[in-house]
Amino acid sequence: MTEKLDGKQFTVLVIMNTLGASIIFIPSIATNYGKENGWITLIFSTILGVFIILLYNQIIKKLNGKEFFSTIDILFGKWLGAIIIMLLTCYIFINTFANLWAISDFISLQILMGTPFEVISLIIALTVLIAIRYGIEVIGRTAQLFFPFTMLCALLLTLLVIKDADFSNITPIFQLNKSATIVGTLPIVSVTFLELVILLAITDNVNNIQSARKGFLVGGFTSGLILLVITLACITVLGVQGTANYAYPIYALGQRISIFDFVERVEIIVAFIWFFTIFIKLCVSFYVFTNGISHLLKLKNYKTLSVPLALFIFLASILSVPNTFASFAFINGAYIVLSVTAGLILPLIILGVLLIKKRVF
């Protein structure tokens, strides 16, 4: 029995995957490049993101409900196919442990100070392990269940700080730093939309190809919009320097919430946004990761490998970066290369071959 997702669940997964991890870094990266035009960078990124999703949608159309990894095998033959799957899996692996590192680092730095990083990381890794053993359908339903809470938190966050917003912080609009504003889309797209390539591997689980394509586009656009609003809120409330200074600007935004000096210290709602999105993102990428490895090793059931691989991502998250500063250099350098390779060049090649070998299908 194959597991099925419906279009709505897939849309939610797209949003969760775009927002996960990135929502907390993006404002800082964007202002680092475009300064007061950081939010314009997000507009460019969303436009670019929509084009990337259109590319993925073409692949989904051509796949026509077939399994992603096995189609690559058929298209490229045994060895070349294995190499391509290996590259993709490597990228997904990096993505998974980087997200695990990010959430564990955040929790151990901001929320559970004093709890060792390893403990948090292991607990999350095991939770994700339990989740993926229930299968993608359950993950999809969970995402659908959590989605309203996440959106409510994001909405509350922006609404509650709106009275502190100072729109002179975003002026002059798009006059200075024009080139930097445009260049900033590169790191932003690579941590958001290019990571959606992971979702190609679960599109065969969506019961209707048409709704999958629609969901992909709607989800991508919506999450671009959410990121835009959050970045705008950060810049107008915290100021350009403030946003760029903080490692977690939206957490600082949450700290600013104060209603009549009564509703205060509710920054944890920001953490909720992040917990939910990144948890779903971790589940999906870990699910695809185990599937990819199982496919490479020609195992029938991905569940066999899930336990050792959970330990593997746990280990990788411990060993991922020496310190927080290295992660920023990584996002602004090596990670872009990886994202563009796995998220743009490989899909382009796959699409090209799909178009040429049309008759095979």
Partner 1 sequence: MKRFRVWLLCSSLCLLLTGCWSAQELTDITLAKALAIDKDGEDYKVTIQVLNPGEIAGDQLSTRATISTYSASGRSIFEAIRKLTKSSPRKVHLSHLQLVVYGEETAKEGIGKTLDFLIRDHEVRTDFTIAIAKGLSGDALISILTPLEKIPADKVRSSVESSEDFWAPTKEVKLDELIESISSNGKEAILTGVYLVGSPDEGTKMENTEYSDSPAQIYLDDIGVFRGDKLQGWLNEKESKGFNYITDNVTNTIGWVDCNDGGTISVEVFQSNTNMQGSVVNGEPSIKIDIKIKANIGDVECSLDLSKPKTIQDVQKKLEQKTINIAEASISAAQEYRSDIFGFGNAIRRSNPKKWEQIKDNWNTIYPDLNVDVQAQVEIKKSGMITQPIYEKIERKTEKEE
Partner 2 sequence: MPNIIIFWVISALLSYMEIKRLNKRKGMKDKIIFIIMMCLFITLISLHYLDIKLPYIIDMIEFVTKPISEPLGKWLKNFQQPS
Site string for partner 1, 109-138 (x = CB under 8 A): xx-xxxx---x---x---------------
Query: Rounded distance, CA 97 to CA 320, Å?
Result: 7
Which runs of consecutive H residues, i.e. helices, occur in 134-208? Answer: 136-161, 178-183, 185-191
If the CB atoms of residues 279 and 289 are measured against partner 1, the closer one turns out to be: 279
Six token digits for residue 243 = 């946003």
Find the radius of gyration of the CA atoms of the chain. Answer: 20
168 binds partner 1 (CB under 8 A): yes
- Binding test (CB under 8 A) with partner 2, winner from 83, 337, 356, 360: 337
* Residue in 27, 242, 343, 347 binding partner 1, rule: CB under 8 A: 242
Residues 6+ positions from 319 with CB-CB distance below 8 Å: none
Choose between 174 and 330: whose C-beta lies nearer to partner 2: 330
Q: Is 260 in the site for partner 1 (CB under 8 A)?
A: no
* 3-class SS of residue 265: coil
Nearer CB in complex with partner 1: 124/284: 124
User: Torsion-angle region of residue 65: left (phi > 0), alpha (psi -120 to 50) or beta?
Assistant: left
Under the binding rule (CB under 8 A), the answer on residue 1 touching partner 1 is no
Measured from the CB atom, the residue of 185 and 211 that comes closer to partner 2 is: 185
By CB under 8 A, residue 149 contacts partner 2: no
Contact 235, 170 (CB under 8 A): yes
| 330 makes contact with partner 2 (CB under 8 A) | yes
Residues 301-320 that bind partner 2 (CB under 8 A): 301, 303-305, 307-309, 311-312, 314-316, 318-320
Buried/exposed 236-273: b ≥16 CB within 10 Å, e otherwise: bbbbbebbbebbbbbbbbbbbbeeeeeeeebbebbbbb
Q: Is 172 in the site for partner 1 (CB under 8 A)?
A: yes
The one segment of 219-227, 252-260, 289-297, 350-358 that binds partner 1 by CB under 8 A: 252-260
Positions 234 through 253 that interact with partner 2 (CB under 8 A): 241, 244-245
- With binding defined as CB under 8 A, does residue 33 bind partner 2? yes
Which amino acid, residue 32? Answer: N
**φ, ψ dihedrals at 173, nearest 5°:** -75, 115
What is the C-alpha to C-alpha distance for residues 132 and 134, in angstroms, rounded to an integer?
5
- Cβ atoms of 128 and 286 within 8 Å: the answer is yes
Instruction: Establish whether the linkage from the previous residue to 27 is cis, with ω within 30° of 0.
Output: no
Q: How many CB atoms lie within 10 A of CB 209?
A: 17
Interacting span for partner 1 (CB under 8 A) from 15-23, 62-70, 232-240, 343-351: 232-240
The answer to whether 258 contacts partner 1 (rule: CB under 8 A) is yes
Q: Which residues form the interface with partner 2 (CB under 8 A)? A: 31-33, 35, 94, 97, 118, 122, 126, 177, 179-180, 183-184, 186-187, 241, 244-245, 297, 299-301, 303-305, 307-309, 311-312, 314-316, 318-322, 326-327, 329-330, 332-334, 336-338
Q: Which residues form the interface with partner 1 (CB under 8 A)? A: 109-110, 112-115, 119, 123, 168, 171-172, 175-176, 238-242, 245, 252, 255-256, 258, 264-265
